[in-house]
Structure 1
Amino acid sequence: MVKIEEYKELIDSKSKMITPRVALTLSLVLFSLTIVPALYSLIANPTLPLLISSSETDGPFPSDHMHPSVRILPPVDSPIPAPLNYTRHRKSSYHSPPVTTSTSRTQIRDDEQRCDLFKGEWIPNEESPYYNNATCWAIQEHQNCMKFGRPDTGFMRWRWKPDGCDLPIFDPNEFLEMARGKSMGFVGDSISRNQVQSLLCLLSRVEYPEDISSSPDTAFKVWNYTSYNFTLHVMWSPYLVKTTKADPTDPECNLFNLYLDEYDTKWTSQINQLDYLVISSGHWFYRPVIFYENETISGCQYCALPNTTQLPLYYGYRKALRTSLRAILENFKGLAVLRSFSPQHFEGGPWDKGGDCVRTRPYRRNETIPEGADLKIHDIQLEEFRAAEEEMKKKGLRLRLMDTTQAMLLRPDGHPGRYGHLQTAEVSLRNDCIHWCLPGPIDSWNDILLQMMKTEK
């Protein structure tokens, strides 16, 4: 094969003898040997150039027929949008980066099986991120932390390292093979949805799902990975129990009635068809609510209603979680996972008083100590989990705890903060130090989820 340098020398030494037509031909050959391979490499490896400010994300509103990676997505408390239904043509029309684990361990050795996945440190991971907003359609605006000018990218390049073992990086092929012919459901609030979006993005390296939801209710979505006959269910239930608005006629009403001893049948009636169930909650319990028990008001929180007992959020959360775990005990036969509380990281004030999260590195484990309401909610989860686990063991059922609270407490750098929206002096928006950037530290939840599935198998 003739080298590029030989063409250059030929052009230089023979320039006086070459006709314009021959010169044009040689120039085209040189172009094909230099520019074309570079373009091919760029197209074939979409995750290499991290999209910080691209025309795809900063352009005008796209129409529905455009590629799903550039769709304009709903606000924070809305459910995940459905992808376009072109799964069957996915392999021929989309170039995914190769799924490899070049330097990461792929399994936990036999002598490490007793390793506690939930105690450890965050260590650098230069292989990440494994997707971006060009390869994953499920990243919403407020989680696309690079779009609105976040200057650092280091928050994407860490992985969770448990003490005593090395947690394998999520392998989408292995996950889909394990889940072949099965179904998995996630129940909870927008943090639960955040984990689902991470899972969708990690799996997008292999296949996009098809929306097979049976109703137009966007709070309850069902996707199917047709090549594996794996269905993924997302069920919106931020309080886990039956909930109604205190004033149904007011669309802006933010006061809710919580029926602490009644199931939210919108999700409890569906779980008997699932093989895996991941349940989580917590953040919505900081809102004004009225508690009902035995169909009677038992108290309220932040409601300022006359002649009504003021109760702390811990009261309502414990009872709601207990009711939800009882629903799982009575209606579910597969592997149930309770994912623990996801800490918030507001500094310099609370969420509504200018609080922000501007750190750019994880904490070391001895740098911060959990405090206040977040720790109390975590304690309640541990207590209710242990009680429910004993009951499930008696019936031969499986309930496991995904205790990610300590790991996520160390990640104040992983939230959108001020970069979950357009940066303008004219608009004052609160900083988001609750949800997690995608890609980001929340991807480790699915590393852990897959390892728990493998352990159960």
Structure 2
Amino acid sequence: MKLHKSNPFSPKVSVAIAAPILILLALAVVSLNDVNVAERYRYIRRAATSFSSSSSTSPAASSPPSPSSSSTPSTGACDVTRGEWVPDTEPPYYTNLTCPFIDDLQNCMKFGKPSLEFLRWRWQPDGCDLPRFDAARFLEAMRGKSVAFVGDSLARNHFKSLLCILSKVALPVEVGTAPEIDVTGRAVRRDYRFVDHGFTASLFWSPFLVKANLSNATLGLGQWDLHLDTPDARWAAHVAEFDHVILSSTNWFFRPSVYYEGGRAVGRNSGGASNVTELPVSHAVRAAFRTALGAIAAGVGFRGKAVVRTLTPAHFENGEWNTGGDCVRTRPFRRGERPLGAIEAEFRDAQVEALKDTEAVAQRHGVELMLLDITEAMALRPDGHPSRYGHLPGGTVEGSFVVDCLHWCLPGPIDLWSELLFHMLQLPARQ
């Protein structure tokens, strides 16, 4: 009997051979996809938001940190603070009709901002994607925890943005008695409680972060005495109550001020009426942030995360806030189209340096320092300010402040800050 060799290309043999090969290929594709997904979230997890990955050198005065600078994380990580704004078809997280927390001064929809194009962009980091904010997941992750925002009106702007995003899932209730009113007319502290989640978000008005006295109680006419080595006790005394603290402030440091350390006048800014030496405003910014961070790091009972949000540039064009300036652009800048100003870069440097100055103390006390670096992203958004649409026609923002190119519309580009903050605060949970 003659044996016949089987044909390796016969249909039955081909199928027998192809089947396991296809299965192996499919498994390989799935495995590769799993690796890609894992890598994507590893990039976000390792983003340059913790201080250990933040800038250790000052950027050039005319531009934000470059990709090759030491602010970029180690190889394989994606820096979510570097990127560009790209068109977005997703609707905003909220509107002025769905969120009851929007202040009129940032309610651009209510007061008829001509173009809503500013809502149709999202932040695209270089080399990875930044997921949209998941309000339900945030509240669940923050169950039983608390966060405090400390700073000026931009801290309030951010605070209201977060409340609005979270209101899609749950509405908080304001708790506490009638708030103390500051000499400037602002409430010193406001607390909002998400009852079902046991999560509390608090806002402290402290535009200098340190102890500050107004020599003349008439707002705008007086001189501020800034005690750069003494934290503002109105918030610092409550640090142990919170799991996370977000510090931010820069713009008030331009107000006429005399600087004190150890109870003695050591300097002033250009508007300070004193015989002491004039010092750069950035000197006061660095000292104030260093003092505030030191109070948190060495505070009894605080073992959470202290976050510094970097400055957000204003976009007045064709004049300043009091000389006819406005912000009428309807699209973001492209990267490199508008270099970061020297003063803005100097102030951001001062904030980063304050973090470096406090790192050793923080490590000894088990406190984590983090940098929420939004300066580059927000420098590209001249279209996201209220301009004249934070009040009725003929009205004002504050006093003679008619046009607002400093604060941000709600909803608007500022909602990115909460997206970045969420991923920062949740890093350990994803490891």
Which bracket does the TM-score occupy, shorter chain normalised?
0.7 to 0.9
Identity %, equivalent residues: 44
Between 192-201 and 123-132, the greater mean CA deviation after superposition: 123-132
Q: Does 1:430 align with 2:430?
A: no
Task: Please list, as runs of the form range in 1=range in 2, the aligned pairs for 1:335-354 lying within 5 A after superposition.
Answer: 335-354=305-324
Q: 1:253: how far off?
A: 4.1
**Which residue pairs with 1:308 in the alignment?**
276
**Which residue pairs with 2:353 in the alignment?**
383
The CA distance in 2 between the partners of 1:368 and 1:251, in whole Å, is 34
Secondary structure of the equivalent of 2:98? coil
Q: 1:354: how far off?
A: 1.0
1:416-451 alpha-carbon deviations (Å, 9 max, x no partner) = 112222224999753111100000000010011111
Task: Please list, as runs of the form range in 1=range in 2, the aligned pairs for 1:85-234 lying within 5 A after superposition.
Answer: 108-110=40-42, 113=45, 114-217=77-180, 218-234=187-203
Q: 1:314: how far off?
A: 1.4
Q: Which runs of 5+ in 2 are unaligned?
A: 1-36, 46-76, 181-186
Q: 1:293: how far off?
A: 1.4
Secondary structure of the equivalent of 1:418? coil
> Structure 1 segments of 4 or more deviating over 6 A?
425-428
Structure 1 pair 107/190, CA: closer, same or farther in 2 (3 Å)? farther
Q: Which amino acid aligns with 2:242?
A: L
Q: 1:200: how far off?
A: 0.5
**Which residue pairs with 2:67 in the alignment?**
none
Q: Does 1:327 align with 2:259?
A: no
The CA distance in 2 between the partners of 1:133 and 1:106, in whole Å, is 37
Do 1:343 and 1:408's aligned partners in 2 also have CA atoms closer than 8 Å? yes
Q: Does 1:318 align with 2:286?
A: yes
Q: Does 1:454 align with 2:426?
A: yes
Q: Does 1:259 align with 2:227?
A: yes
Q: 1:309: how far off?
A: 2.4
1:188-237 alpha-carbon deviations (Å, 9 max, x no partner) = 10101100000010011111111112453232011111110111111110
The CA distance in 1 between the partners of 2:215 and 2:307, in whole Å, is 31
Q: 1:106: how far off?
A: 12
Residue 445 (structure 1) aligned to one of 393, 417, 425: 417
The CA distance in 2 between the partners of 1:378 and 1:151, in whole Å, is 32
Q: Does 1:239 align with 2:208?
A: yes
Do 1:245 and 1:253's aligned partners in 2 also have CA atoms closer than 8 Å? no
Do 1:325 and 1:388's aligned partners in 2 also have CA atoms closer than 8 Å? yes
1:147-167 alpha-carbon deviations (Å, 9 max, x no partner) = 333210010121111111110
The CA distance in 2 between the partners of 1:129 and 1:143, in whole Å, is 15
Query: Given the two structures, how large is their TM-score scaled by the length of structure 1?
Result: 0.73
Q: Does 1:286 align with 2:249?
A: no
Secondary structure of the equivalent of 1:420? coil
Secondary structure of the equivalent of 1:199? helix
The CA distance in 2 between the partners of 1:232 and 1:364, in whole Å, is 34
**Which residue pairs with 1:273 in the alignment?**
241
Structure 1 pair 301/176, CA: closer, same or farther in 2 (3 Å)? same
Secondary structure of the equivalent of 2:426? helix
Number of aligned positions between the proteins:
352
The higher-RCO structure (CA 8 Å, 6+ apart) is: 2
The CA distance in 1 between the partners of 2:43 and 2:291, in whole Å, is 38
Secondary structure of the equivalent of 2:298? helix
Secondary structure of the equivalent of 2:227? strand
**Which residue pairs with 1:421 in the alignment?**
391
Structure 1 pair 228/106, CA: closer, same or farther in 2 (3 Å)? farther
**CA RMSD, 1 decimal:** 2.2
Query: Given the two structures, how large is their TM-score scaled by the length of structure 2?
Result: 0.77
